[in-house]
Amino acid sequence: MTYEFIEYPDREMLVIDLANQLAGDLRTALSHSDRAVLSVPGGTSPGPIFDDLCAADLDWARVDVLLNDERWVPEDHERSNTALLRQRLLVDRAASARYLPLYAPYPEPDDALAELAKPIEEELPLAVLLLGMGADRHTASLFPGADQLDAALAHDAPTLLAMRAPGAPEPRITLSAPVLNGALAKHVLIFGAEKREALESARGLSVHDAPINAVLDGAKVHWAA
């Protein structure tokens, strides 16, 4: 497993540079095919990247945007990743992108898997993937100890899985490891000393203890303190 680790002098530099790289990757993908899929994390880290990326000069009408994972809460909930995307990525020039939802108003994510997977499967593979990582070394909703982790890591995993984990306060829905790994360009965004240490020490751990290991090969990891 090899990945490139890029260290930036500060978060602001990282944000500018990474947003540029994502826009460049999207332009490259659009020069080779009619449409390109961009998949992004929720959580607290990517907001500033979205603020820059949404203004990128590219043909957003040919871009499909989706989340790597979603917490099973309605869009008006403060923990909704969809709400974050609508507020900070699907605005400005990027407002003309097509959004592929990872939430539908069913009581449990399990009820919505087939319905939500269908339009995504029509557009795969992912062209550009941005991943986040938790200090517990989860990425997307591939959490250590999650009930469907093995199923999500399998080479023949379905596109989407429902996931419940001790480290996650609500049920989740997530893209599987093979779908994430199918991305043509893969970036990981991490901030702070704790996550850097978590990533470095993941090397000696199994994929069950460090699910991030399942998606690191060929990735560019972007880090700032």
Ligand X SMILES: O=C(O)[C@H](O)[C@@H](O)[C@H](O)[C@H](O)COP(=O)(O)O
Interface with ligand X by CB under 6 A: which residues?
A: 41-45, 68-69, 71, 81, 132-134, 138-140
Of 58 and 84, which has the nearer Cβ to ligand X?
84
> In the complex with ligand X, which residue's Cβ is closer, 58 or 210?
210
Q: Are 199 and 137 in contact (CB under 8 A)?
A: yes
Task: List for the chain the helix, strand, coil content (%; round to 5).
Answer: 35, 20, 45
CB nearer ligand X, residue 19 or residue 58? 19
Please, which residue, 79 or 98, has the CB nearer to ligand X? 79
CB of 50 to ligand X, least distance (A): 12
Q: For the sheet containing 63-67, what is the strand order?
A: 4-7, 220-224, 185-191, 128-131, 36-40, 63-67, 98-99
Beginning with the edge strand found earlier in the chain, give each strand of the sheet holding 172-175 in spatial order.
Answer: 69-71, 172-175, 160-163
**What SS3 state is found at 2?**
coil
Beta-strand runs (E) in the chain: 4-7, 36-40, 63-67, 69-71, 98-99, 128-131, 160-163, 172-175, 185-191, 220-224
Distance CA 195, CA 86 (A): 27
How far apart are CB 81 and ligand X at their closest, in Å?
Answer: 5
Tell the smallest beta-carbon distance from residue 150 to ligand X (Å): 18
Least distance (Å) between residue 31 CB and ligand X: 29
- Closest approach, Cβ 175 to ligand X, in A, equals 10
For residues 103 and 138, what is the distance between their CA atoms, to the nearest angstrom? 20
- The closest residue (CB) to ligand X is 132
CA distance 17 to 213: 24
- Minimum CB distance to ligand X, residue 191 (Å): 8
Q: Distance between CA 144 and CA 166 in Å, rounded?
A: 8
Nearer to ligand X, 21 or 39 (CB): 39
The answer to whether the beta carbons of residues 99 and 37 sit under 8 Å apart is: no
